[in-house]
Chain A
Amino acid sequence: MLLSFNWLKEFVPYSGTAEELGAMLTMLGLELEEVLHPYAEIAQVVVGRVLTCENHPDSDHLHVCTVDVGGQEPLNIVCGAPNVAAGQLVPVAPVGATLPGGIVIKKAKLRGVPSFGMICSERELGLADDHSGILVLPEADRFGRRPELGERFIEAYGLDQEVLDISITPNRADCLSVHGFARLIGAYLGLPVSLPEFTLEENGEDISMTVPVEVLDGDLCPSYTGRIIKGAKTGPSPAWMRWRLNAVGIRAISNLVDVTNYILMELGQPLHAFDHNKLKGSRIIVRPATDGEELVTLDGQKRALKAGDGLICDADRPVALAGVMGGLETEITGESESVFLECAVFRPSSIRLTARRLGLNSEASYRYERGVDPTGMAFALDRAAALMAELSGASVCRGICKCTPRPWKPVPVRFRRSRAEALLGVPLTDEFCLKTLESLGCTVQCGDAEWTVCAPGWRYDLTREADLIEEIAIFKGVDRLGETLPSIPHNLESFGAPESRHAFMMRVKHWAAGLGLNEAVNYSFVGTADLDFLGLPEDGRVRIMNPLTAEQDVLRTELAPGLFQDVRRNLAQSAPGVRLFEIAECFTQDVSSDTTVREVRHMAMVLTGTRFDEVWGHEQADMDYADIRGLVEKLFAWLHLDTPSFALADGHAYLAPAVRVSMADGTAAGIIGRLKPALADSYLAKKPVWYADVDLDLLRKASQDRRAAFKALPVFPAVRRDITFIAPLDMHAETLLSAVRGVKGQLLDSAELLYVYEPEGAGVRNVTCRLTFRREDRTLQDGEVDKEREKIAAAVVRQLGVTV
């Protein structure tokens, strides 16, 4: 809301500065965004009188003028405007002055004649669009004061130099006008508020009977009134009104239309002016639309209407979308001479629905959605009619056409001082509460413990005790209430409960970061194309109905698309290695969920490039399967879960090889593998991209009862022996290890892989296993261990057909 400081002061004698007012309003809940100076750019423009005006000797359109700007010598100014003439009062930008758009006036020579300034048009001053000629100023401002020559233009004519941009929360419909602000400031500071004075002269026959208004739905339109103004001459509004509207961001159109906007900004009451001669039949009907009806609105758009939209109709057809926008056919034009001026209140929710659906947000609908004061209608209508008559030379017909199916009734609200004290935590006096409520316009019936309070018509937001208590808090000063620390309640049940999901996730994040991975956070939505690119199933995807872009139109079913994009971005920045993890929800449709969506927290890790960022101190190598698998194995071990099993999975969408990770009981827990090279290309990856994904909710559940369990340390030393098998290339290491472990014997404690070596061109590989022998009851002798090793080697050779 743009609030002119000058305009406000016409309503309330506020004596501080605009900045002080803004600070005060901020602490009343009406936050000042900034103080605007709409006319700062033309501050150096002065008022001048054209003394002489001659044609330029070498031009057919330029004039050479002398202009008195109050200095000792008149200025010589060359002016190209067709309407410049001696005797005019004009705005002059002298040499050195600035104009909107960063223009600086310089001494110039136009076709040989020197010029010491510029006589300006309204457009050049940023006041309006008019550029047909220079702006000829009235001899006096609207209060009759005559400007002095050389006086600053914006001061001489009282332009609105300071405008407060205030953000209005949806509950404060009462502060959507100059009057509304004046009312609040008056209440808070105890200042008198004065409404503009005017005299309304009514003429001719009483139209209240001859133009009947019918409201067919009283919920939609509780009250509808109108006046008729006849004999209007349309034309531009007076300068003061145009410039004031301009200062608060409203384009001036014509005297009749400008009055409706002026009253809207001043009193907060939206008005609509119909060209009365274009209304058919002498009647107004307010009714809900039916599906399929159409109306061409002021902006020339044909609007398809739906049941529930409010319509204003004449005898034949709809002529306006109630509270949102007028119809094109009955709009005020330059030829209009008779006006039907509408002043009504409509149901906020209905206006909002219509405005939202049609994407039509007008100053009127904005106010109606929030609530317009039904008790202020009569004043606004009369003031607007009087102003129209004054500005257009028209006369106002006697009487008001009206229909008020739901007259405004104050709603009693209970108020207890004790409740206010209990909620705010501060002692209050009856006196303070009463004074506050009454200053806001409430009527208060005091009782002993309980008062009955009725809010005024402009306070739609005061319907409950809590609302009244808020007003008390605001006037008391929300920043001046006490500060206490509450004792936080606990219940016994919460102690010893399993670790929360949040705590578990945080623990895993710390584990991963401590291990050396970098945590990534990606958007939960991706593009359908991203999922398609990775070949992920279409079934079960959760699509966004109104996405911002096609790149964000579906919720991710896996973390892979985001992490691969991160890989791409990092490789584009020449990162030698990327080691990321992300822990976040994956979304799929699920009819059994109350949100229709199943959300599972996954952890994904991606590795690509060199194992270490720095060459120093490391054998340089690219990360491989062992790196990614090691992370998954370590995660399981760290969570005290049994060692998972790893098995090749065929036909994975984007990984090859893909290795299924299963819990010890066979439950699928995740997948690891290498991004298919054909896909990796588009992520700029030249080196293998290793990826792992695990269902973290599953791991959390499985690990909930697991904890570290102490095992007694062995008493007797272990003896180690290695065996190197020469095995076919396609024999998995695990096959050999299992065979080793499977040989019956009393001495073998464990068998691990030591090396795999593939001699060039041999078609076989050498797999070295390290065997650890131990007995719990005695130290082993070398001889018996060697014998056992031979026995195992021979058994494996026999079983698998490998050689040693």
Chain B
Amino acid sequence: MDLLEQLNGLASKLEEQLRQITTAAELEAARIDFLGRKGRLAELMSHLRDLSPQDRPGFGQAANAVKQRLLDIFEERRKRQEEEKESAFLAKFDPSLPGRSVWNGSLHPITLAMQEVCSVFQNMGYEIAGGPEVETDFNCFEALNMPPEHPARDMQDTLYITDKILLRTHTSCVQVRTMMKRRPPLAIIGPGKVYRRDSDVTHTPMFHQIEGLLVDKHVTMADLRGTLTAFVRAVFGSSTRVRFRPSFFPFTEPSAEVDMSCTQCGGHGHVDGQPCRVCKGSGWLEILGSGMVDPAVFQAVGYDPEAFTGFAFGLGVERIAMLKYGLTDLRMNFENDVRFLHQFPA
């Protein structure tokens, strides 16, 4: 039967045609030519109604077989084409091409250092407290046992707004504000900006401090030592040694400066036989000021110094940042050169 022959010849015709083509578009054109709605198979199928009813089932079965055969041929060819494409892609793939850059966001090193310090104390259970940067003389000095004309005021050159209003010289004001608002027990840290009338290679007129305060019954100086030793180890490593040295702050008594072994020379005081640049040969770096809350401060905020004891401490964030990241020039912190900022990716 002519029609059946034509039908059976489709597969070899297709195979012959496919030998001529290379591209995916040609393959698609061939597919439409043979299998499309108006393609060769469909054209032959349209003659089905001309057949006698008894011939129809046989033709139908044959047509389905041919259709399946054609589909298989196409599928095989398509797979081969894809494999060729994939191997061509792999052959010319250049792994040395750089990655597409996205924006290099960063957090300021002061923020990073501040966050690191805060999280150490937050993990210990301290809450974060805040206060304004413009402060009253009372909160900044008087309540902290520095009456007018106290020589300790010389330790901090102050920027004034008026005679009684000033830019806070330390975050210790946060202690005062918190104690005036709340009753013990209290465990807070207060991070923030502070200001002094001082500008040279080692001082910027604005810098950052973190204040800490614990007030409860039975807080001891040994607690202070344990807490700050834990802090220094958490931030600078467990092998860091800590030294407590008596000092003076008007708002603590007894007071102590806390030194830690030098991050550069490990506390030896020298590197390769030369005095260490960072600690100037002493092996120690001053890192914190601290002490037991002075009873005068408790009185100023209305706490009973017989019932409560407490400790307070304060540290300079820039100093931590300098030691942690090896910064050498303080002023660079406030120039915001993106080449500097990019070094602290967040």
Contact = CB atoms under 8 A, between A and B. Distances in A.
Interface string B314-344: 0000000000000000000111111101100
A489 interface: yes
A489 B125 CA distance: 8
B254 interface: yes
B101 interface: yes
Interface stretch (A393-401, A464-472, A739-747): A464-472
B300 interface: no
A546 interface: yes
Given A423-B220, A470-B253, A481-B225, A518 B338 contact: yes
Given A519-B108, A570-B336, A425 B222 contact: yes
A349 B149 contact: yes
Contacts of B226: 482-486
Given A470-B253, A479-B243, A518 B342 contact: yes
Given A470-B255, A489-B185, A613-B101, A169 B336 contact: no
A521 B104 contact: no
B42 interface: no
Contacts of A502: 118, 128, 130, 191
B103 A542 contact: no
Nearest to B114: A506
A489 B338 contact: no
Given A170-B152, A513-B346, A422 B220 contact: yes
A109 interface: no
B130 A597 contact: no
B238 interface: no
A424 B162 CA distance: 40
Interface stretch (A241-249, A265-273, A572-580): A572-580
Given A546-B197, A614-B101, A520 B108 contact: yes
A544 B246 contact: no
Contact of B245 (A26, A547, A570, A593): A26
Interface stretch (A43-51, A256-264, A522-530, A770-778): A522-530
Given A578-B338, A585-B133, A474 B254 contact: yes
B59 interface: no
B interface residue count range (under 10 / 10 to 19 / 20 to 34 / 35 or more): 35 or more
Residue of B103, B128, B333, B342 ringed by the most chain A CB atoms within 10 A: B103
Contacts of A552: 205
B295 interface: yes
Interface string A508-550: 0110111111111111110000000000000000111111100
Interface string A465-508: 11101100110001101111110111100100000111100100
B338 A542 contact: no
A170 B151 contact: yes
B98 interface: yes
Interface stretch (B14-22, B65-73, B211-219): B211-219
B278 interface: no
A481 B227 CA distance: 13
A470 B184 CA distance: 24
B199 interface: yes
A637 interface: no
A510 B337 contact: no
Nearest to B103: A516
Nearest to A566: B336
A675 B294 CA distance: 52
Contacts of B337: 569-570, 573
Contacts of A510: 107, 346
Given A469-B254, A470-B254, A595-B165, A369 B245 contact: no
Contact of A595 (B102, B135, B339): B135
B149 A352 contact: yes
Interface residues of A, number: 95
A513 B100 CA distance: 18
Nearest to A490: B125
Contacts of A570: 336-338
Interface string A571-593: 00101001110001101000001
A485 B230 contact: yes
Given A466-B294, A486-B214, A488-B124, A519 B338 contact: no
A174 to B, nearest CB: 13
A518 B343 CA distance: 10
A579 B101 CA distance: 15
Given A484-B226, A486-B216, A519 B106 contact: yes
B135 to A, nearest CB: 6
A469 B225 CA distance: 16
Nearest to A491: B185
A524 B227 contact: no
B246 A478 contact: yes
Contacts of A503: 128
Interface string B89-120: 00000000011111111111011000100100
B154 interface: yes
A28 interface: yes
B292 A423 contact: yes
A660 interface: no
A696 to B, nearest CB: 14
A523 B222 contact: no
Given A425-B222, A519-B106, A29 B151 contact: no
A390 interface: no
Nearest to B284: A26
B133 A524 contact: yes
B159 interface: yes
Contact of A546 (B135, B160, B191, B295): B160
Contact of A569 (B128, B223, B335): B335
Given A484-B226, A555-B134, A514 B346 contact: yes
B191 A518 contact: no
Contacts of A548: 159, 197-199, 205
Interface string B224-261: 01110110000000000001111110000111110000
A522 B159 contact: no
A172 B246 CA distance: 12
A481 B222 contact: yes
Contacts of B334: 521-523
Given A352-B149, A518-B338, A518-B341, A486 B132 contact: no
Contacts of A356: 149
A647 interface: no
B48 interface: no
Given A352-B149, A513-B107, A486 B309 contact: no
Interface string B194-206: 0101110000111
B219 A486 contact: yes
A467 B155 contact: no
Contact of A494 (B127, B159, B219): B127
Nearest to A475: B246
A544 B161 contact: yes
24 contacts: A29-B246, A170-B154, A349-B148, A352-B149, A426-B220, A426-B222, A466-B295, A478-B256, A483-B229, A484-B222, A485-B223, A486-B223, A489-B187, A518-B106, A519-B111, A523-B206, A524-B206, A545-B162, A580-B338, A593-B132, A594-B136, A599-B132, A613-B101, A617-B100
Interface of B: 98-108, 110-111, 115, 118, 124-128, 130, 132-136, 148-152, 154-155, 159-162, 165, 167, 184-187, 191, 193, 195, 197-199, 204-206, 214, 216, 218-223, 225-227, 229-230, 243-248, 253-257, 292, 294-295, 309, 333-339, 341-342, 346
Interface of A: 26-29, 31, 169-172, 348-349, 352-353, 356, 369-370, 422-426, 464-467, 469-470, 473-474, 478-479, 481-486, 488-491, 494, 500-503, 506, 509-510, 512-525, 542-548, 552, 555, 566, 569-570, 573, 575, 578-580, 584-585, 587, 593-597, 599, 612-614, 616-618
Given A509-B111, A569-B336, A579-B103, 8 more contacts: A422-B218, A486-B220, A500-B130, A566-B335, A580-B336, A585-B193, A593-B132, A595-B165
5 nearest interchain CB pairs?
A: A516-B103, A425-B220, A425-B222, A29-B246, A489-B185
